[in-house]
Amino acid sequence: GGGKSTLVNYLATTLARQRLTGGSTGLPDWPAEPPLPVRIVLRRFAAWLVETVGDDVPEVKAGLVWRYLEEKLLADWGCREAYRHVKETLHTAGGVIFFDGLDEVPESVVDGRRTLIKETITDFAGPLDTCKVIVTCREYAYKKDDAWRLPEAQFPVIDLALFQAEQIRQFAQTWYRVTGPRQEWDANKQALEAKRLADAVLAKAHLRELGQYPLLLTLMAQVHGRYGDLPENRADLYDRAVNLLLSHWENRLVRQADGSKKWEPGLIARLDLRREDVRSVLEAIAFAAHERQEGQSNRDKQAADIGRDELWEGLLPLVGSYDRAKEVTDYIQQRSGLLQAREHFTYVFPHRTFQEYLAAAHVWSLPDDPVEALYTRLQRDAAWWREIFLLAAGQARADAYRVKSLVERLTAGQPRPDVSEWQLWGAVLAAQTIHETNFMRFVRGKEADHPFVRVEAGVRAWLEAALVAEGSLKPGQRAEAGRALGRWIEDTRPGVGVVEREGMKLPDIAWGNWVKAGQYTIGRNKNARWSLKLQEVKIPHDFCLARYPITNAQFQCFVEAFDRDNATWWQGIPDSERLFREPRFAYANHPRETVSWYQAVAFCRWLSDKLEMDIWLPHEYEWEIAALWPNENAQEYFYPWRSGFDAAKANMREGSKLDQPTTVGIYPSGRNEALELYDLSGNVREWCRNRYQKPQSDIDPEKVVISSDSRVLRGGSWNHYRSNARADYRLGSPPGARGGFSGFRVVVVRVSPSHHPDH
């Protein structure tokens, strides 16, 4: 499925067309005068050798190729008289000879014939100095110790690269340029569908991995063209692709030597089989192969080898005899479909994902309890059976009770504070199962005591317990729990998500404790270069910081608001700031980054209006006072947890080094306990409202100057060291900067009693 034969066919056709028309090849770096192309399919050449030559093999074997050209290839085309001209052209003017499919020589003649073919090609190429000779072979079959391997000096090995993103897009454009007119689509419609196909393939990791292979990308294009899209659910996609591959074994249109076409009965029609029955046999074979491959050291490299005898035994109840089973394997040898022939009488699925999908389908046919059978295998080798579990759930997604039983088996019991690694693993898999099966459609609208609601709430409870299980889980594991919550279910902790009021989504802000107006001490005597100098400052109003930085879900409320472009929010702000960038880490419960100071200001103005509160970015004085609260002895400490540096208390470059932001609130021991404020050190740096060069400015939020002056960032980020994470450390940045390290939290000031967060 890598495109070897297609490449050979394309080159041969392009060169032949240009020789006929007299134009240039259009192929980069090829000579202006196109060489004569000759394509020899080695499977057919080997069959001709058996029929014609037998054991009467000459010592010098180059003549066998010339005989094949004259007696078979040209004769079948009805132009045997052109042989002398072809031979003379290749000797004098030169050409390109393609020998396609060295590995496809039938297994029944492999012992001597591949070596014979190797010697024949070598003898043939030797005297043809004017020609280029290209041989194709699947990578797995071309091993260094094989007797039939061509001499490296004469035939250097080149790997055919897989598709990159740009080639996937180019393929999609070409596909719809060819197939679109059949549906009477104009150029605009063809371009639109091509973009939709490429975007769908590149948007998801599992589709992108498949799309590297031209065969599998073609399958996805066929699915997209037939159904109008690629299914969101992987199980749906594989189901449709499997049926397409099975259709390769049904009737097919074959071009004859005279140019006419006729229908040739395929394997399924010839043996009078039902596609569903063939598929059922392959599902059982895939399950057995996957189970057998579990203990193999190289299992991750490819799909499992399936022996001919194993395939025959599986087919026997269906086809009725070994002769008919052999007919099946002989057919597969010549026409790849859902199985591909390999060396030593073995077969393989075209990609491991098809093996996994078919094995998952067989789960529901197991004689024992399928749910318990899957769970037992997960306990035995979780990594190996994880995909099978998800695909089995995907195939059962229409049955809410089946999905429920799978999820419940992963998250049995009530969560405890000391969540184990296995319990976390099960909860994460359960969350993904809920997402991939769209189980939430069974949950919505149900009462809290409904079994479907309870099972979904149980998964969330396990993940929320894992978020703060600092005693039993490492930061990276707690971060994984957070990503599962943010990506696959919904993080409903207060202060993290959104609420709906009068049809509008609004941030659900949880506030810390209040700090009274008054005189406070900030700054340092030492290290004043990156800190404010030790001083007394006056805060003229009560203030209260949000418990967490603003999350992606909360900021998205503003991005999607119907009145987002209201001029009131953007007064004094450059128009270019109304264009938002996608966050680098877009999990709903992660802090919003890639956001400028200007955009944070506009958000605060919008939120103030919606909540009828005075909401702003904190002044850096307020931020530092709150971070080290209580203020009486704040100068004795550098970090919000009011003790020495501890890498386990914040997401920063030291310690676990997670290399990305994390879900808010997963370092409870690193919070400021007195004010209940989380993530003040690490995760993302936080914008403050005041100017960097004039820290005494902008204390009154109603008098903040909107200008291009640098603004203050506090708290350090996931990419910074301990010095940046100190509560007194300050950094300046242009207000339009949108770094992946910077976010913000909000502060509420000067509120009336009726709108006080305590009410």
Residues in contact with 468: Cβ distance below 8 Å, sequence separation at least 6, in sequence order:
417, 478, 665, 666, 668
Instruction: Answer for the pair 455, 408: CB distance below 8 angstroms, yes or no.
Output: yes
DSSP string of 526-571, one letter each residue: SSTTSSPBSEEEEE-S-EEEBSSPPBHHHHHHHHT-TTTT-TTTTT
pLDDT of the residue at 204:
83
In whole angstroms, what is the distance from residue 679 CA to residue 672 CA?
A: 9
Task: Determine the pLDDT at residue 255.
Answer: 67
Please give the DSSP secondary-structure letter assigned to residue 589: T
Closest CA to 285 of 365, 206, 385: 365
Q: Enumerate the CATH 3.90.1580.10 domain ranges in the chain, comma separated.
A: 498-639+689-713+724-755
Q: How many CB atoms lie within 10 A of CB 21?
A: 9
Q: Rounded CA gap, 734 and 598, in Å?
A: 10
User: Using CA atoms, how far apart are residues 310 and 316, in angstroms rounded to an integer?
Assistant: 10
Q: Are 715 and 578 in contact (CB under 8 A)?
A: no
pLDDT of residue 334: 63
Q: pLDDT value at position 4?
A: 87
What pLDDT, on the 0 to 100 scale, is given for residue 47?
83
pLDDT at residue 513, rounded to an integer: 97
CA 636 – CA 634 distance, rounded (Å): 5
Residue-level pLDDT at 752:
44
What is the model's pLDDT at position 376? Answer: 95
Residue range 574-617, pLDDT digits in tens: 999 999 999 999 999 999 999 999 999 999 999 999 999 999 99
Q: Buried b / exposed e across 578-597, counting CB within 10 Å, b at 16+?
A: eebeebebebbbbbbbbbbb
Residue tagged 């059982």 (tokens) = 284
What pLDDT does 141 receive? 63
- What value, to the nearest 5°, has the Cα angle with vertex 471 and ends 465 and 472? 70
What's the alpha-carbon Rg for the chain, to the nearest Å? 34
- In the predicted model, residues of the chain with pLDDT beneath 50 are 107-110, 751-752, 754-756, 759
Q: How far apart are CA 62 and CA 131, in angstroms?
A: 14
Alpha-carbon span 413 to 436, nearest angstrom = 23
User: Which strands, in side-by-side order, build the sheet including 346-348?
Assistant: 306-307, 346-348, 340-341
pTM of the full structure: 0.77
CATH level 2 (architecture), domain 498-639+689-713+724-755 = Alpha-Beta Complex (3.90)
β pairing state of 498-501 and 504-507: antiparallel
Element at 197 (helix H, strand E): helix 187-203
